[in-house]
Structure 1
Amino acid sequence: MSDLKADGFKASDIISELNKSFDGFSDAERKAQIKKTNGIFELKITNAEKAEAVWTIDLKNKGVVYKGPAKPKADVTLIMSDDTFSQLASGKLDGQKAFISGKLKTRGNMMLATKLGAVLETAKGQQKAKL
C-alpha cells in the first residue's frame, strides 16, 4: 500500500512490510492478533531532517496499519527517531534500553508499548524484534 510511504523515512518500508503481513492474515489470525494485543499504537517518527511522520497500528478494532494519527485515540504513542525505530524493528536495539536511554518516549499505556515487539515479530515472522 503506497499511501504508507513517507519519503526520507526508513520506517515507511518497515511499516509497509508490516501492512503486507497484516493483509496476509486470515480472519482468524487477525482476530487472534487483536485479542492478544488489544491496543492502538501511534508511532511518531522523526527523520534526520527533523521531519515527522505518523503511523498507526490498530490491533484493537480492525487489525490494520495506516498513515496518520490514530482514530480513535491511541492507547499508547511512541515517539522516536527513524534510526531508533529501524533498530527496534530489526532487533538490534532493545525497547527497554531505548526507553531508559531516552531514545524512545511514550505517552499513554506504557505496558502496551512492550507488546509492539511481539507485533513486529509476528507480522515479520522474526524472533529478533525486542521492544
Structure 2
Amino acid sequence: MSEEIKVEGFKSSDILAALADVFAGYSDEEKKAQIKRTNGIFEMRVKNDAGTEAVWTIDLKKTGSVYKGPAKPKPDVTIILSDDTFAALAAGKLDGQKAFMTGKLKTKGNMMLATKLDGVLKVRCSSLSH
C-alpha cells in the first residue's frame, strides 16, 4: 500500500507512506477516534528542490487514509509547502503556525483545520517509537 504513495525525489513521500502504514494498522476504533479528532481532508501540494510538485491527500474525515493525488471529494484545506518544510514539520523541528507566519506554508480553504496538521504528523512519530 505505502509503495503506491512514494514519489522519487521527495522526502515527503517517505513520511506520508509511513503515515499511511500507521493508518492501515489502526483498528476501526482507533481510526474512528482519529477521524473524530481531526475531521478534515488535507490536500498536500509539495514542491521539491527541482521545482517539481507532487500531491497527496490525508483523509481524516471519511476513510482515515493517505493516498497520492488530489483529494476526492474536494479537500477542506489545501496546504502548499516545500519538501524541506514538510520534512521539518514531520520531524517536529518546525511547527505549522511558525511555517505559516514565515510564508513557508500556504493554505487554501479552512485555515483552522491546517492547525491540526502538526497533530496528524505526530501520529506517525508516536507509533514509530512503540
TM-score range, shorter chain: over 0.9
* Local SS of the residue matching 1:85: helix
Alignment of 1:37 onto 2:38: yes
User: What's the C-alpha RMSD, in Å, of the aligned pairs?
Assistant: 0.9
For residues 39 and 95 of structure 2, the distance between their equivalents in structure 1, rounded to whole angstroms, comes to 22
For residues 94 and 121 of structure 1, the distance between their equivalents in structure 2, rounded to whole angstroms, comes to 11
Deviations 1:49-71 (A, max 9, x none): 00000000000001010000000
Equivalent residue number for residue 7 of structure 2: 6
What percent of counterpart residues are identical?
63
- Following TM superposition, by how much is the alpha carbon of 1:81 offset from its aligned partner in structure 2, in angstroms? 0.3
Contact 1:21 1:124 in 2 (8 A): no
For residues 91 and 24 of structure 2, the distance between their equivalents in structure 1, rounded to whole angstroms, comes to 21
- Following TM superposition, by how much is the alpha carbon of 1:84 offset from its aligned partner in structure 2, in angstroms? 0.2
Equivalent residue number for residue 106 of structure 2: 105
TM-score normalised over the length of structure 1: 0.94
Q: Structure 1: which amino acid aligns with 2:109?
A: G
For residues 112 and 39 of structure 1, the distance between their equivalents in structure 2, rounded to whole angstroms, comes to 7
- Following TM superposition, by how much is the alpha carbon of 1:124 offset from its aligned partner in structure 2, in angstroms? 2.6
For residues 72 and 97 of structure 1, the distance between their equivalents in structure 2, rounded to whole angstroms, comes to 29
Runs of 4+ aligned structure 1 residues displaced above 2 Å come to none
Contact 1:10 1:83 in 2 (8 A): yes
- Following TM superposition, by how much is the alpha carbon of 1:123 offset from its aligned partner in structure 2, in angstroms? 3.1
Equivalent residue number for residue 74 of structure 1: 75
For residues 112 and 55 of structure 1, the distance between their equivalents in structure 2, rounded to whole angstroms, comes to 16
For residues 110 and 71 of structure 1, the distance between their equivalents in structure 2, rounded to whole angstroms, comes to 19
TM-score normalised over the length of structure 2: 0.94
Contact 2:95 2:118 in 1 (8 A): no
Q: Structure 2: which amino acid aligns with 1:99?
A: F
Alignment of 1:54 onto 2:50: no
For residues 96 and 62 of structure 1, the distance between their equivalents in structure 2, rounded to whole angstroms, comes to 26
Equivalent residue number for residue 129 of structure 1: none
